[in-house]
Amino acid sequence: MATVGVKHHQMFIDGQDVDSDQVFEIRHPATNELVVTMAKGTVEHADQAVESAKKAFESGVWANKPKEERAAIMREIGNRIALELEEFIEDEIICNGATVRQATGFHVGLASGHFLYFADQAEQYEFERDVPTVAYPTMSMNRVRREPIGVCAAIVPWNFPLVLGIWKIGPALAAGNSIVVKVDEKTPLSLLRLARLAHECGVPPGVFNLVSGEGKEVGARLASHPDVGKVGFTGSTAVGREIMKLASGTVKKVTLELGGKAPTIVLPDADLDITADGALFGCMLYSGQICESSTRILVHESIHDELVERMVKRASTIKLGDPADYDTDMGPVVSERQRDRIVDYMEKAKADGATVALGGNAATVEGFEGGWWIEPTIFTDVTNDMQIAREEIFGPVMVVIKYSTVKEAIAIANDSSYGLTAGVWSTDYEAAVEVGNQLQAGTIWINNWHQVDPALPFGGYKQSGAGRELGEGALDEYTEAKHMHVDLTTSLDRHIFDILLSTPAE
Ligand code: NAD
């Protein structure tokens, strides 16, 4: 049901556009203007998409395609993403407020390469492996096969919909599965473009479906649907727990990429120019709305004041403004709700005794008064028990904690229910690696941040997740392992059946 004068988008199920009699209104986070409407799916749409995915999987139209053909179609998709870069960037900016520089470098810039990595995996992954003939207890040949699971569901958040979607769609398709993607209601456009484009490149109807809808209805239905064999989820830890519960009914495989509260330890010998810029890059990129952002900066007391001074000076230059303008450094946060949530955290921090070294408030930007803005913010005098040091804020809010010994810093860093990423800044690489070895996180960045490579695993320790996306093991998460044992023993007396049947055969 379209709104007059605004472009309306439909879901994509079984190779067809599918509308709904309800809509989501999508508003530009920098202006609050209505930019498009999107069909709002229901539980019935989720069921329709799963049925279509199941039918496609069982027909073998994708699963039984030679892996070289699957890889070729996926390469075509990866190349088309690169060719349509501008359109994808526009989709992301108007929905989630990323700046054009961020969208070019991260939101969309990573997408083509990551998809192409999975296209290669479609061909290179070891789908079948023969184990050398085993002679004990009897002669046998053994084979390990990795087979597609069937219907997979991907439930994706709003912050990096295209890339985080590809981390699930890529391995699922490479392994021969069908997939149903549930987009976040605020950011459906880039994945919708990808679904259509995949279809144009030769992915058969029903193999890649996209639905929208409320998480607690449509997402929850996918997570509990008896015909879904695997759920790949990125989002908050609270919803991740819920997904685990819902998936347990039919013991689905689950991959969870959840929240974070990443610590970074600045050792006394760190290069302060690199660290000041790097720590701000790690914390404030995309207005801090990244699960792996470095939000807790642990600084040795000997360099604390100087580093804070440099970071405040550099962060004061961050220019808020039109996300589509190349001169803009930082865009808005995604919604009024997020803006208010961040402001609440900052007020709580002030009440708890943290010192505002910079910012600490909502902001207004001339010409963009309707948007949702937060000042780049640095809090000092923070202790690790304060709420701003324990909970994920998802805003451009840096928390600085002073430490005296490296042992103490490691203990503070690990004192968190999260463990997605962590980092170290130091000019002594060996010392930094030694500290990194003791940090409890799935990724450790030394003297940099936000470095995600499709060939390397990504995921969290503790309550930051379960399983890993990307890397060589990514397709393991979208396949079932089957061990096939073929016994080669030809005479009864060489078999081991006498363990049970001791009386010789007549
Ligand atoms: P969210 O958990 O609220 O929503 C994520 C997705 O789940 C959305 O599509 C939503 O509609 C759906 N959903 C909500 N309730 C559901 C339910 N009961 N059942 C099934 N689906 C449901 O998270 P968000 O606010 O969209 O995203 C921010 C969170 O995502 C942050 O906590 C952030 O750290 C996390 N995140 C993690 C990673 C990572 O890789 N670890 C990456 C990006 C974001």
Calculate the average pLDDT of the chain.
Answer: 96
Mutational test site, ligand 1, from 110, 239, 464, max ligand atoms within 8 Å of CB: 239
pLDDT at 344 over 70: yes
Read off the pLDDT band of 179 (50, 70, 90): very high
The response to whether residue 242 sits with its C-beta less than 6 Å from ligand 1 reads yes
The pLDDT of residue 502 is 83
The response to whether residue 469 sits with its C-beta less than 6 Å from ligand 1 reads no
- Which domains, ranges and CATH numbers included, belong to the chain? 7-42+66-258+460-483 (3.40.605.10), 262-446 (3.40.309.10)
The pLDDT of residue 132 is 84
Q: Angle at CA 220, nearest 5°, toward 216 and 225?
A: 160
Closest CA to 439 of 455, 462, 472: 462
Which tens digit of pLDDT belongs to each residue from 105-120? 999 999 999 999 999 9
pLDDT at 4 over 90: no
Region 149-176: what's the mean pLDDT? 98
Which tens digit of pLDDT belongs to each residue from 265-324? 999 999 999 999 999 999 999 999 999 999 999 999 999 999 999 999 999 999 999 999
Q: Give catalytic residue positions.
A: 257
Strand segments, DSSP code E, in 387-494 are 397-403, 418-419, 421-425, 443-446, 461-462, 465-466, 479-487
Read off the pLDDT band of 142 (50, 70, 90): very high
Specify the pTM. Answer: 0.96
* Ligand 1 center–CA 160 separation, angstroms: 11
Is the Cβ–Cβ distance between 286 and 102 less than 8 Å?
yes
Mutational test site, ligand 1, from 11, 24, 159, 470, max ligand atoms within 8 Å of CB: 159
Read off the pLDDT band of 3 (50, 70, 90): low
* Separation of alpha carbons 371 and 97, rounded Å: 9
* Ligand 1 center–CA 96 separation, angstroms: 14
* Separation of alpha carbons 31 and 499, rounded Å: 77
* Separation of alpha carbons 30 and 103, rounded Å: 15
Region 465-473: what's the mean pLDDT? 95
Which tens digit of pLDDT belongs to each residue from 413-422? 999 999 999 9
Number of neighbouring beta carbons within 10 Å of residue 484: 12
* Ligand 1 center–CA 335 separation, angstroms: 15
Is the Cβ–Cβ distance between 73 and 43 less than 8 Å?
no
The response to whether residue 243 sits with its C-beta less than 6 Å from ligand 1 reads yes
The pLDDT of residue 104 is 94
Which tens digit of pLDDT belongs to each residue from 48-65? 999 999 999 999 999 999
Number of neighbouring beta carbons within 10 Å of residue 313: 11
Closest CA to 69 of 119, 104, 33: 119
